[in-house]
Chains A and B, each alone.
Chain A
Amino acid sequence: MSNLAVLPIIIPMLAGIIVAFTNKNVKITRFLSKLFSIISLLVAAYVTYEVFSNGSIILETGDWAAPYGIILVADQLSILLILTTNIIAATAAFYAPHSLNIKQETHYYYTFFFLLITGVSGAFLTGDLFNLFVFFEVLLMASYALIVLGGDKIQLRESVKYVLINLFSSMLFVTAVALLYGVVGTVNMAHIAERVAEVEQKGILTTIGVLLFFVFGTKAALFPLYYWLPRPYIVPNPVVSALFGALLTKVGIYSILRVFSLIFVYRMEITHEAFIWIAGLSMIFGVIGALSTNNIKLIIAYNIIPAIGFIIMGIGIFNQDALSGSIYYLIHDMIIKSALFLLVGVIAYVAGTSDLRRMKGLIHHYPVLGWLLFISAFVLAGIPPFSGFIGKLLLLRGALSADEIAITIIALLSSLLILYSVMKIFIRGFWGEKEENKTYTKKVSAGLIIPIVCLLTISVFLGIGAQFVYPAIDGIAEYLLDPQIYIDSVLKE
């Protein structure tokens, strides 16, 4: 049964290879990519069901016993994130044919898309720190190809910066893993956690932890390290932006959550205390960025940063409520960010520009788009009863019970400003008089709208149906608070 854990990695990889052979025939490629993304989603759902009913699935690859070989750990946290990833991948597979042009599709878009999903799933599943680096590279390689697909002047320019910053942080990752190996003599995460616990994180271990935090913080776009993020995320096609915004930064934040709830948990006054400050600053600076621009794509891209701030805030506070809030918010944000990127892509397409100053009165022509944006803004900002509200409520409850008043105030204020920054698109772009001399000829096909509606429906369900989802998330938070459960399940002692 333990082989189930490898399926979320294998299926997208095989799909990526198969669609590479059919790239000349777009119709078959489209059909295959939709088919494989649905199969992958169903398998992910089944594995999730198995994990939640029978406990973590641990796969020792090649039958090498735990600390020696590479292991894949499908615990409740990682499998839930994989399920979310597959939901987003399926909607992206249905959105892509309507959004990309033929040239991009025949130039292996679908192959790289599936390889990206492979890398993301692998990063969520692996129980080995060096293997995490390898899966980071798998997903980054695919993202390098996706970001430059089309080969515009701007795309090329921004992708060079994107590759450089990621290459730099990857090399720091290797160095950090090397130093950690030099101290504890293993790269298996459970084994590292056990050995770090034995010496109570003395000496250089905290420094290595902070170095790892810098690496993951760069990938997750946290406060001092986010400067690279907004521009490369808006230059590719909306569907690629949606995948990037929903998945890539979240892999970074997942790694922080994993490493700083399992391994480096004995010097909280240094590490986790700093996280709270970084969270506050990420929220403030991200929101300022979102308010400062009139480019609708850039507004959404900047909104990634405060969202990451909210998640790291829960990791910093590190109690039951705050952690479950973080996980809730992580899943909520993956779904709503991809929905918003897709939606803004459609708006920019019909308006012929992404500059807010050149849009007006769109609601007369595209009422559906307007109301979808309205709902998404509410979901994003956490207006009850939508999903953002549940996550934020848990986070704030955790913050208040830990007496972190300052961060609570910052979080509440930045939520308001997030709402304003997205509402600005609605107010400036959709309200206003009908422009008589301007004609909108572009039709919005149902294929562009249905994926967005699906994502929003899931998002609304996460809010209204919180009583079904919350117990599972609460269980994960409890599981994360006790690293011994993970260590025992992997090393089987």
Chain B
Amino acid sequence: MEYIILLLAGVLFATAIYNLLQKQLLRIIIGTVLLSHGAHLVLLTMGKLKRGQPPILDENVTSYTDPLPQALILTSIVISFGITSLLLVLSYRTAKENNTDNMEEMRGESNE
């Protein structure tokens, strides 16, 4: 199971990089979203996926899931969610102000 998830994370990373290298702003944002999904899957897999019981202290439970990656992943999801929404608004305004969503045209001159 871990291998499948890690492969999936790898595919997500590859698609993310492909999208990040595009010229269209929206595609780049989709790339960053996919990238964060990949990173979160790696984080989740690092604590092992299925170990048995939930991490609640009990006499009968000997093998239980590692709770730390899940705490970390939650923090990270919230942060990337916030940044993605900010980025969407920012890109919308940028595309409107600059009259283009092509990164090639947003290079800027050398002295301004």
Interface residues of A, Cβ cutoff 8 Å to B: 130, 133-134, 137, 141, 144, 148, 151, 153-154, 156-161, 163-164, 167-168, 170-172, 174-175, 177-179, 181-182, 187, 231, 293-295, 355
- Chain B contributes a number of interface residues (CB within 8 A of A) equal to 36
Nearest-CB residue, chain A, relative to B99: A153
Nearest CB of B to A221, in Å: 18
Which residues in window 74-95 of B have CB below 8 A to A?
75-76, 79-80, 82-83, 86-87, 90-91, 93-94
- Which listed residue, A133, A151, A154, A167, touches B108 by the CB 8 Å rule? A154
Residues of A within 8 A of B111 (CB): 293-295, 355
Residues of B within 8 A of A294 (CB): 111
Q: Are A159 and B40 in contact (CB under 8 A)?
A: no
Q: Are A153 and B98 in contact (CB under 8 A)?
A: yes
Known: A163-B83, A178-B46, A179-B46. A157 touches B28 (CB 8 A): no
Q: Are A174 and B43 in contact (CB under 8 A)?
A: yes
Q: Are A187 and B68 in contact (CB under 8 A)?
A: yes
Nearest-CB residue, chain A, relative to B32: A167
Residues of A within 8 A of B47 (CB): 181
Q: Are B36 and A137 in contact (CB under 8 A)?
A: no
CA distance A170 to B77 in the complex (A): 12
Residues of A within 8 A of B36 (CB): 167, 171, 174
Known: A154-B108, A164-B32. A159 touches B90 (CB 8 A): yes
Known: A163-B83, A163-B90. A134 touches B75 (CB 8 A): yes
Nearest CB of B to A351, in Å: 14
CA distance A148 to B86 in the complex (A): 11
Nearest CB of B to A175, in Å: 5
Residues of B within 8 A of A133 (CB): 76
Nearest CB of B to A192, in Å: 13
Q: Are A160 and B86 in contact (CB under 8 A)?
A: no
Q: Are B87 and A178 in contact (CB under 8 A)?
A: no
Q: Are A171 and B79 in contact (CB under 8 A)?
A: no
Q: Are A160 and B39 in contact (CB under 8 A)?
A: no
Nearest CB of B to A136, in Å: 10
CA distance A156 to B86 in the complex (A): 12
Nearest-CB residue, chain A, relative to B16: A171
Known: A181-B68, A293-B110, A355-B111. A160 touches B83 (CB 8 A): no
Residues of B within 8 A of A172 (CB): 39
Residues of B within 8 A of A134 (CB): 75, 79
CA distance A182 to B41 in the complex (A): 13
Q: Are A171 and B32 in contact (CB under 8 A)?
A: yes
Q: Are B46 and A182 in contact (CB under 8 A)?
A: yes
Known: A168-B20, A168-B35. A160 touches B43 (CB 8 A): no
Which residues in window 1-49 of B have CB below 8 A to A?
20, 25, 28, 32, 35-36, 38-40, 42-43, 45-47
Q: Are A153 and B39 in contact (CB under 8 A)?
A: no
- Which listed residue, B25, B72, B83, touches A177 by the CB 8 Å rule? B72
Residues of B within 8 A of A168 (CB): 20, 32, 35
B112 adjacent to chain A (CB < 8 Å): yes
Q: Are B86 and A144 in contact (CB under 8 A)?
A: yes
- Which listed residue, A160, A181, A182, touches B25 by the CB 8 Å rule? A160
Residues of A within 8 A of B38 (CB): 171, 175
Nearest CB of A to B35, in Å: 5
CA distance A293 to B108 in the complex (A): 14
Nearest-CB residue, chain A, relative to B84: A167
CA distance A271 to B67 in the complex (A): 33
B61 adjacent to chain A (CB < 8 Å): no
Nearest-CB residue, chain A, relative to B35: A171
Residues of B within 8 A of A159 (CB): 90, 94
- Which listed residue, B25, B35, B97, touches A153 by the CB 8 Å rule? B97
Q: Are A163 and B72 in contact (CB under 8 A)?
A: no
Other CB < 8 Å A-B pairs besides A153-B97, A178-B39, 16 of them? A133-B76, A148-B90, A153-B98, A154-B112, A163-B86, A167-B87, A171-B36, A171-B80, A174-B39, A174-B42, A174-B76, A177-B72, A178-B42, A179-B46, A187-B68, A231-B108
Nearest-CB residue, chain B, relative to A133: B76
CA distance A387 to B99 in the complex (A): 47
